[in-house]
A = this chain, B = another copy of it.
């Protein structure tokens, strides 16, 4: 399983294209973005107060205040019209441009206007105090955002501040989703005939794809028929960056999926040491990665979170995926596990205790009841009650 997770690294990457900033959240920059100019671009006051020469304030205190002549005021968003000379001060709003001659700003809290045109200063300031340097937020050419890491809210803010309103980002990977099985019917089916089940997997896979930054295309239900599946896959390859097939649930149907995929490309592995999720297929056809998922929805979703989501990100150029939401909790009971097999155990969380939710792998209710899951690694033979575990939270 670890081998499959780490080893299957298809070369495919989506191309880069321009994305406007207001649609760029979570998009993946294809190249680092550098600051075109210094930011903020001018020395800027960080407080309300008076622009001064710091030397004029040395030694002042509550007991021995200094007195400066106020020669003017800086307005927000405007070039200062006055210069600060020895013994003078200029009134400043937070965010205003530091006037020529000044090297610090005294906070208004440490001043008092004793008479019109004169301000009393009771605290000394050092040069640079109360001021952001012109290039303190970014020097020209500094990296504003790296390539490969999905853009976060503050990255958008920084790009906006720098006037970068379009980013070159990887296209969202187009992920084609097929369901297979003679028993599978669309969710819209009002009344089921005996033996039929509605397609539960496709809509959930599409959701996971979208959350991973992909563009899902739910492409319908293919009957358990090799020719029909081959035709569907061939037709989907040109417009897909990744293909996901939730295979039939019986051994025969799974083998059929594998043999069809084998005819179209190279099977990288078939069968994983993971529970649930053993009958998983990884392949590459015409440069398009293909994932064959177990037939039952619960196993399909568990495996897709572990293998499919990282693949969607990889193909979409994401080299620094955002971390999952993880909570530490103590296990409510012993969890047995076979060595050599990775176990994904669903748990409910309450008051720092993780209680396993057991049930057949055919049951979706095990997943909907769970708040998250615990992974028992391949080398472990189980975990004792009371062990601290990382619970990855569903969201």
- Chain A residues engaging chain B, CB cutoff 8 angstroms: 21-22, 25, 39-42, 44, 46, 48, 74-79, 93-97, 108, 132, 136-138, 144-145, 150, 152-163, 165, 181-184, 187-190, 192-208, 210-211, 218, 224, 248-253, 295-298, 301, 322-328, 360-365, 367-368, 393-395
Evaluate whether A195 and B78 lie within 8 angstroms (CB atoms) in the complex, with A153-B301, A160-B203, A211-B25 already known: yes
Asked whether B195 lies within 8 Å of A79 as measured between CB atoms, the reply is: yes
A192 to B198, CA, bound (A): 58
**Of all chain B residues, which has the CB nearest A145?**
B368
4 A-B pairs besides A79-B195, A153-B208, A163-B189 with CB distance below 8 A are A77-B182, A157-B203, A157-B204, A161-B297
> What are 7 inter-chain pairs, A to B, with CB distance below 8 A?
A22-B203, A25-B211, A79-B194, A95-B183, A157-B204, A158-B364, A158-B368
Evaluate whether A161 and B362 lie within 8 angstroms (CB atoms) in the complex, with A76-B182, A95-B250, A154-B394 already known: no
A295 to B77, CA, bound (A): 14
Contact among B153, B182, B368 for A207, CB-based, below 8 A:
B153
Asked whether A136 lies within 8 Å of B93 as measured between CB atoms, the reply is: no
A249 to B364, CA, bound (A): 52
**Of all chain B residues, which has the CB nearest A201?**
B157
**Chain B contacts of A156 at CB under 8 A?**
203-204, 207
**Chain B contacts of A200 at CB under 8 A?**
157-158, 160-161
Asked whether A360 lies within 8 Å of B322 as measured between CB atoms, the reply is: no
**Chain B contacts of A362 at CB under 8 A?**
40, 44, 46, 95, 132, 137
Asked whether A360 lies within 8 Å of B22 as measured between CB atoms, the reply is: no
Q: How far is the CB of A150 from chain B (nearest CB, A)?
A: 8
Contact among B78, B136, B158, B298 for A194, CB-based, below 8 A:
B78
Q: How far is the CB of A20 from chain B (nearest CB, A)?
A: 10
**Chain B contacts of A193 at CB under 8 A?**
77, 79
Contact among B157, B322, B393 for A322, CB-based, below 8 A:
B393
**Of all chain B residues, which has the CB nearest A136?**
B363
**Chain B contacts of A159 at CB under 8 A?**
187
Asked whether B203 lies within 8 Å of A95 as measured between CB atoms, the reply is: no
**Of all chain B residues, which has the CB nearest A79?**
B194
Most chain B CB within 10 A, of A39, A154, A181, A364, is at: A154
**Chain B contacts of A249 at CB under 8 A?**
93-95
Evaluate whether A198 and B79 lie within 8 angstroms (CB atoms) in the complex, with A94-B295, A153-B204, A155-B368 already known: no
Evaluate whether A210 and B76 lie within 8 angstroms (CB atoms) in the complex, with A136-B363, A322-B393, A363-B132 already known: no
Contact among B154, B188, B206 for A165, CB-based, below 8 A:
B188
Most chain B CB within 10 A, of A145, A165, A189, A193, is at: A165
Contact among B21, B195, B201, B368 for A187, CB-based, below 8 A:
B21
**Of all chain B residues, which has the CB nearest A21?**
B203
Asked whether B360 lies within 8 Å of A46 as measured between CB atoms, the reply is: yes
Contact among B162, B198, B251, B360 for A163, CB-based, below 8 A:
B198
Q: How far is the CB of A280 from chain B (nearest CB, A)?
A: 15
Asked whether B93 lies within 8 Å of A218 as measured between CB atoms, the reply is: no
A390 to B200, CA, bound (A): 36
**Chain B contacts of A207 at CB under 8 A?**
25, 152-153, 156
**Of all chain B residues, which has the CB nearest A349?**
B323
A199 to B22, CA, bound (A): 12
Q: How far is the CB of A359 from chain B (nearest CB, A)?
A: 8
**Chain B contacts of A162 at CB under 8 A?**
198
A138 to B145, CA, bound (A): 48
**Chain B contacts of A204 at CB under 8 A?**
153-154, 156-157, 160
Q: How far is the CB of A373 from chain B (nearest CB, A)?
A: 11
Contact among B132, B181, B327 for A76, CB-based, below 8 A:
B181
